[in-house]
Structure 1
Amino acid sequence: MTSTAPRPTQDRPRRRPVAAEQTEATEPASEAVMGLDMVLVDGARGPLRRMVPPARTVGRLGAALARKPDVVARRSGALVRELGGILRGSSEIAPNPKDRRFADPAWTGNPLLKRVMQAHIAAAQTAAELVEAADLDWQDDERIRFTLTNVVDALAPSNSLLNPLLWKAVIDTGGRNAVSGVRRMVSDLVSPPRVPSMVEPDAFAVGEDLAVTPGAVVLRTDVFELIQYRPTTERVRSVPLVIVPPTINKYYVTDLAPGRSIVEHYVSAGQQVFMISWRNPDERHAEWGLDAYGQAVLDAMDAAERITGSEQVALQGFCSGGIIQAMVLAHLAATGALDRVAASSYAVTVLDWSHAGTIGALMDENAVREATEKSRQKGYLDGATLAEVFAWLRPNDLVWNYWVNNYLQGKPPPAFDILYWNADTTRMTAGLHHDFIEVSIGNLLTKPGAATMLGSPVDLSAIDVDAYVTAGIADHLCPWQSCYRTTQLLGGRSRFVLSTAGHIASLVNPPSNPKASFQVAPSTPADPEEWLAAAGKEKGSWWPDFMAWLGERAGEEVPAPESLGSADFPVLVDAPGTYVFDK
């Protein structure tokens, strides 16, 4: 494993991070919702395997339509008549006003382009209507719809040489966009993830533009580094907050650019903050599973308690980090040590996978077995392949949008800090990959004692500490209803907050974002739709709301420490540490 030092800023232009409202635009609601287990399976097998549905599913679609010849004839006839209207110029078919692919006026002003666009939309609508009419069982229906969506998106005329943006770029650049576009395409295709780059590799530098909140590494183990952040207030809450970030990608999604950093906001509110920075593992660490990562959380808690002198900590887990956190809390409950935790928080975390999207439809036992065997042989799940999977979850926004920008127009992608973080991939150990799939496929966390953590049976209902649970209303990976069910699994009181936007934009939602808002209700009934009906909308970010909630549970205020670390945990290196640079 190698480390890369931060690069000096003088040899590259300073890039301004994308504004919050631009970030939200990159995460619209998806037609199909995917889950962590599906992502982990496809991460090993490759996302393009799902572009072609199983032969038996295609056979069932054909058989179902064969039994309804009148429906097929009616839909086909309607398509022929619509195409005739398109050729005559009398068709009123138009794209969705929010569809940015056809936003250029040439798509409606040029007769040829308008007809091509209308024909594409008409054919796509007819295909969707035929699938609807087939009335397949839910698994086959999801498989066909997922494939259909990807094929339709890929065949959109906006992705072709007809796109007016291409020809405008040819005129503006004298054809240089073609040379630049081909060069970018070749560069992207030679190594994973083989999708258009969403951000330039030198758009930002960790430790200079991102992850710059002052702090220091006060503990380093084989599995993680622990960062303690420097207080910026004269007094701080006595109970420290330990953040458990995702094990996919690096920790600094919680510490992006100044003004957009969750950690920076917490520290400015007087909260003592410790951050786990996971090591980027390789084949040497293949055996690390949930127990290894759970022990890491306990080690981080122990260090935070001893450094601050507190007998308790608060925990906040993000996405997959929240899964590990929940299992650790169950272990503490089983061993009589849950009083070490003053409060817990789960951000876009799914603990109940029973209805988490199209997961069951898009996977089978052979797929799961193949995925775990591939990572076992390699020793890890490659982060670049995971990035490819994430991109194909929303191809219009994360593949074809950049296809047009990078290749047809020959332009560099915009400098989005979230997308830079997303491209800074990490590997996942084969052991953790296997354990996550086993827990999620079997939905083990909903069954007391079905899973274990460090030898203790996991019973989430035994976790009776208060919990703050957040979700994104347009989250394509962790549906908000699935996140909501965490409130029903845990044994303590819960506050559920539904943020705007999608998976990441719902987290990176600073108070400076004028469009920020969230919904909250006074109670958490069993039915998420009942909660939604009772919820009121609050203007602004959920960050201050969480700080106020945690402030009631994080002890009395004490003088801020004058230095970081302690005699037992001396400062090793300034934040962001060394593990964050591992490639």
Structure 2
Amino acid sequence: MSTESGADRFDPGAPTLAAAGSRLASALMARPVDVARHTVALAGELARIGLGSSALSPDPGDDRFAAPAWSADPLLRRAVQTHLATTGAATAMLDDAGLDPADDALLRTVVESVADVVAPSNNPVLRALAARRFTAAPREPGDVEVPLPTPPAPATRRLAFGDDVAASPGAVVLRTDAFELVHYLPQTREVHELPVLVVPAPGLPGYLADLSPGRSLVEHLVHGGTQVLLVSWHPAAAGADARGQALLDALDAVERISRAGSTVLLGIGDGAVLTAAVLAHLAAVGLQERVAGAVLVGLDPRDAGPGTAVPRDLRQWLADAAGAAPAAAVELPGELLGTPLDSAVVDRDTLVVASSDAGAWAGLAGKGAVEVVDAPAEAFVAPPASWWATLAEWLDTRTGERCEAPAELGGRGMHALAPSPGEYVSAR
């Protein structure tokens, strides 16, 4: 018979929960970028859950939510998705904390235990609701089987903003009548000190630069250590002067957020013409040093030739763009905000990405160093298209040294108002 006591069985080397929790807090405080990334991602997922567009679902082997009512009933489905999102965020933070194995094992056990206790399937009210709203099969003559809604066929389902398209994590940090300013969450511990402000074409769906995961220019840039912000236009922003002033307001905000005196402007389509016009305006008033360089992307997927294979995400963008005005002429307006415009006074370096009309786009660039990349219209979202690699190399020498990534989105009095992509992305 063993005489080993409970005290004898105690392992003095085993971590206590309080100590492990304290070390976790210290580890997370040393990783503010990781914490911010997970916090913003969770906020975005919770917003999608509230809107009914979340794609979260339990693992097929998770028998806690096996009854179809947990996915068919809107209230129950949202309860399950909220549970999955929050426990997933907690686990992700543990993954990034880098704790020693003993602390990690203890805290994972705690997280899993708490998650099981607070699971919707353990909530008596939700469990009773699931039981009332689900009949697995008619058990007696006269019983009625509850019909489950048939999901749309994958080929016809519309892609969801913030999930299938425009999915890069970030937040709206400024909203005006003319635009929302989206600040994307850094994905690297260090970023280039000078930010890039993306200027989509006004009047077209604003998510072309963040089309879908794996085919997103925004995603490509942030994963390369670039600080990226984007102007998401509202249709009310009409007229050259109104859009020009809006872009200047966005530039003010970017400088405030980044605490940098210069920003690279990356304009797309008519947004590139507007970018060149605003740069010429700044040069005319002696303020072109606010722009570290300009990227003029003259590619319009609407110009793709017949017979070109069009991926599903781009088909949705083209459908959303149907009825929009054709692209404007590739030329500067005579004046902007009362200032006569002349590209000859602009001396910023410019990268031009265009197809057959590359010469016209290069004519907007001024007297700085101009590099031209020839690419077909459909190559805007065709990674790894050569111009993405050229762009990354071009930006690397014009966005300053690397510094610690910001720990928050916005900053200096500007805070997250809503998860990306915001409200204006679909306002047409």
Seen in structure 2, the aligned counterparts of structure 1 residues 290 and 311 have a Cα distance that, compared at 3 Å, is same
Q: Which residue of 1 aligns with 2:177?
A: 222
- Structure 1 CA distance for aligned equivalents of residues 225 and 214 of structure 2: 16
- Structure 2 CA distance for aligned equivalents of residues 460 and 427 of structure 1: 32
Q: Which residue of 1 aligns with 2:380?
A: 507
Does the 8 A contact of 2:358 with 2:372 survive in 1? no
- Structure 2 CA distance for aligned equivalents of residues 553 and 301 of structure 1: 17
1:289 to 233, 239, 257: 239
Q: Which residue of 2 aligns with 1:258?
A: 213
SS of equivalent to 1:280: coil
Does the 8 A contact of 1:6 with 1:208 survive in 2? no
Q: Which residue of 1 aligns with 2:93?
A: none
Note if 1:248 corresponds to 2:203.
yes
Unaligned runs of 5+ in 2: 1-49, 58-153
Deviation at 1:550, TM superposition (A): 1.2
Q: Which residue of 2 aligns with 1:545?
A: 390
Note if 1:421 corresponds to 2:317.
yes
1:468 to 351, 364, 376: 351
Q: Deviations over 1:204-236 (max 9, x none)?
A: 111111111111000000011000011011111
- Structure 2 CA distance for aligned equivalents of residues 302 and 290 of structure 1: 18
Q: Deviations over 1:516-574 (max 9, x none)?
A: 4xxxxxxxxxxxxxxxxxxxxxxxx2212211211111111110011111142111011
Note if 1:494 corresponds to 2:380.
no
Does the 8 A contact of 1:237 with 1:556 survive in 2? yes
- Structure 2 CA distance for aligned equivalents of residues 202 and 420 of structure 1: 10
Does the 8 A contact of 1:467 with 1:492 survive in 2? yes
Q: Which residue of 2 aligns with 1:7?
A: 53
- Structure 2 CA distance for aligned equivalents of residues 237 and 8 of structure 1: 32
Q: Deviations over 1:164-203 (max 9, x none)?
A: xxxxxxxxxxxxxxxxxxxxxxxxxxxxxxxxxxx96624
Deviation at 1:453, TM superposition (A): 0.7
Does the 8 A contact of 1:461 with 1:491 survive in 2? yes
Q: Deviations over 1:127-157 (max 9, x none)?
A: xxxxxxxxxxxxxxxxxxxxxxxxxxxxxxx
Q: Which residue of 1 aligns with 2:334?
A: 451
Does the 8 A contact of 2:200 with 2:268 survive in 1? yes
Letter in 1 for 2:350: A
Please list, as runs of the form range in 1=range in 2, the aligned pairs for 1:100-499 lying within 5 A after superposition.
202-281=157-236, 288-348=238-298, 397=307, 416-425=312-321, 440=329, 445=332, 451-472=334-355, 479-486=357-364, 490-499=366-375
Compute the TM-score of the two structures, normalised by the length of structure 1.
0.45
Does the 8 A contact of 1:226 with 1:276 survive in 2? yes
Letter in 2 for 1:572: L
Q: Which residue of 2 aligns with 1:156?
A: none
Seen in structure 2, the aligned counterparts of structure 1 residues 397 and 456 have a Cα distance that, compared at 3 Å, is same
- Tell me the percent identity: 37
Q: Which residue of 1 aligns with 2:127?
A: none
Seen in structure 2, the aligned counterparts of structure 1 residues 330 and 306 have a Cα distance that, compared at 3 Å, is same
Letter in 1 for 2:336: M
Does the 8 A contact of 1:230 with 1:564 survive in 2? yes
- Structure 2 CA distance for aligned equivalents of residues 10 and 235 of structure 1: 30
Does the 8 A contact of 2:362 with 2:370 survive in 1? no
> RMSD across aligned C-alpha pairs, in angstroms?
3.0
Letter in 1 for 2:335: T
